[in-house]
Amino acid sequence: MSADLSVYKKDFPIFSRSVRGGNPLIYLDSGATSQKPEVVIQAEADFYRTKNAAVHRGAHLLAEEASDAYESARENVARFIGAASSEVIFTKSATESLNFLATSFGNPDSGIAVKPGDEIVVTEMEHHANLSPWQQLAKRTGAKLTWLSITAGGRLDLSNIDQVINSKTKIVAITHQSNVFGTVVPIDLIVKAARNVGALVVLDACQSVPHFAVNVKQLGVDFLAFSGHKVLGPTGIGVLWGKSELLEKLEPAIFGGSMVDSVTMDGATWAQTPRKFEAGVPNMAQAVGLSAAVDYLTKIGMPNLAQHEHKLTEELLAGFKEMKEVTVVGPLDMKDRGGVVSFTVDGVHPHDVGQVLDQYGIAVRTGHHCAWPLMKKLNLVGTTRASFHLYNSSEDVSSLLKAVEKVTQYFKVSK
C-alpha cells in the first residue's frame, strides 16, 4: 500500500482556482514545472519582508541575516542530495548548470579542459539542455560528440556501450530519467563504463531529484544538475553539484562581483568553490524558497512520493492498455520507470489531444518536449505527455482516461 498523499493537495493554492470550462484544475504537467506549496511561496516572501540584503557584502545585521539564510539554504539543499555544502552551486536553472560545465570544460585554463580529438558522449534521449551545450563545446574545441542510442522500447541501448564510451571519452553527459519516456537510466552501468576509461559523468537530474531520493555519493557521478522549479521550488533557481576537487580545477563560466579573490585592471584571481561560480548578487530569495521546498519534500518522504507516483503511473498504463487508439511511447512496464507517460492517439495530432484535454481542465504537455532528435528518431511529430507529482490522485488518472476517450470520439477516430 502506498501512503495516502491526498491531504497535501490543499497545501498548493493553485488548486483552488478553476480553469477552462469552469473545471477544477487537473495538473498533469509537472514534468515541465511543478506547482508550489504555500510554504515555499511564503519562504520567498518572508525573505523579502524580513531579511532582504546583499549577501556576503554588508557589515550590517540584515546582511548577516541574509547571508545566514542563503548559506543555510545551501547546506539544506546539499543535505537533500547527500552532498557537502561547499560543493553546491546555486545557478538560475538546470540549463545554466549544464552550460556552466560546458563553458568551463571549454576554457583552456581549466585544469580539466576538453581538447581536439576528445569525445563527449550523450544519448539520443537528452533534453536540449543536455545536448546543445555539449554540441557547442564539441564545436568550439574540436572534440567529437557521440551518443548512445535508444531501443524500440524506450530504453537506453547499452549493447555497444564499450565502443561508445572508449579511451577517447572525456565526458559522459546523461539524463537520470527521460523527460519523454519516464525511463530511469542505469547510472551504475554508465559510471562503471566511464570509470573504466577515466571519463567524467555529468548527470541531468531534472526529472529524478523531484521524484525520488537521489544521493550523489551513492550514484558515484561527478557532476549533477537540477532545477528548483520542478522540485516544488521557485523559478529562477537551479543547482549545480560537483565533486570539490573537480570544481576547484574548473575556471568559472561567468565573472563579476563576489567571486574574486583579487582584481586589478589587468586580471583577477578567483575565490574558492562554490563562491567562484556565483558572480553577482545571487538569487537569494529563490535559494531560500528552494530550501523550503526540500524541507517540505523531506517531511513527506521521498520514498512515499516515489511510491505514490509509481501507483498512479501503473494505473494510467493499465488504463491506456485498454484503449486501442492509444499508443504509449516508452516503457510499458513499471521496471526502472518514473511518473512520466508519453502517448499518441491514432489520427489525432498531440496539439489537438492537448486542446481537448484542456477543455476538461486537464493540463498536459504536447509536442517534442525539447527532445527533437528523439522525436525524429521515433518518427513522431510529438506526443502528449502526462506527468505526476505529489498532488495528483487516482481520480486524476480516471479523469485523464475518460477525457482521452472523448478525444477519440470528438475526432471520430476508429481503428
Partner 1 sequence: MELDSLYQEVILDHYRTPLNKGLSSEKDIQVHHNNPSCGDEVTLNLTMKDGFVKQITWDGVGCSISMASTSVMSDLLSGKEYQQAMKVLEAFVELMQSKGQSKGDEELLEDGVAFAGVSKFPARIKCALLGWMAFKDASTQVMA
Ligand X SMILES: Cc1ncc(COP(=O)(O)O)c(C=O)c1O
Helices (H), 124-215: 132-141, 161-164, 187-197
Q: How far is the CB of 367 from its own copies (least distance, A)?
A: 7
Cα distances (angstroms) measured from residue 346 to each of 150, 199, 352, 410: 23, 43, 12, 13
Segment contacting ligand X (CB under 6 A): 10-18, 64-72, 161-169, 202-210?
202-210
Site for ligand X in 307-366 (CB under 6 A): none
Active-site annotation holder among 199, 312, 370, 390: 370
368 binds partner 1 per the rule CB under 8 A: yes
Which position among 69, 83, 89, 131 is part of the footprint of its own copies (CB under 8 A)? 131
Active-site residue, 206 included: no
403 binds ligand X per the rule CB under 6 A: no
User: Do 339 and 211 form a contact (C-beta atoms < 8 A)?
Assistant: yes
278 binds ligand X per the rule CB under 6 A: no
Q: How far is the CB of 372 from partner 1 (least distance, A)?
A: 7
Tell me which DSSP letter residue 60 carries. Answer: S
Q: How far apart are CA 41 and CA 234, in angstroms?
A: 8
Q: How far apart are CA 202 and CA 120, in angstroms?
A: 11
What stretch of H or E contains 223? strand 223-227
Q: Name 415's Cβ contacts closer than 8 Å, sequence gap at least 6.
A: 324, 325, 346
68 binds partner 1 per the rule CB under 8 A: yes
Q: How far is the CB of 45 from ligand X (least distance, A)?
A: 20
Binding mask 266-305 vs its own copies (x if CB under 8 A, - otherwise)?
Answer: xxx----------xxxxxxxx-------------------
Q: How far apart are CA 286 and CA 100, in angstroms?
A: 19
Cα distances (angstroms) measured from residue 119 to each of 124, 140, 406, 413: 16, 13, 49, 47
Helices (H), 142-186: 161-164
Site for its own copies in 369-398 (CB under 8 A): 370, 372-373, 376
Q: How far apart are CA 93 and CA 253, in angstroms?
A: 14
What does 334 interact with, of ligand X, its own copies, partner 1, none (CB < 5 to 8 A by kind)? none
Q: How far apart are CA 383 and CA 315, in angstroms?
A: 19
Site for partner 1 in 37-56 (CB under 8 A): 56
Which position among 25, 28, 83, 94 is part of the footprint of ligand X (CB under 6 A)? 94
Where on the chain is the footprint of partner 1 (CB under 8 A)? 20-21, 56-59, 63-64, 67-68, 258, 260-262, 271, 349-352, 355-356, 359, 366-368, 372, 375, 381-382, 410-411
Residues of the shown chain interacting with ligand X in the complex, contacts defined by CB under 6 A: 93-95, 127, 129-130, 175, 179, 204, 206-207, 227, 229, 238, 256-257, 280-281, 370
Catalytic positions, please? Answer: 370
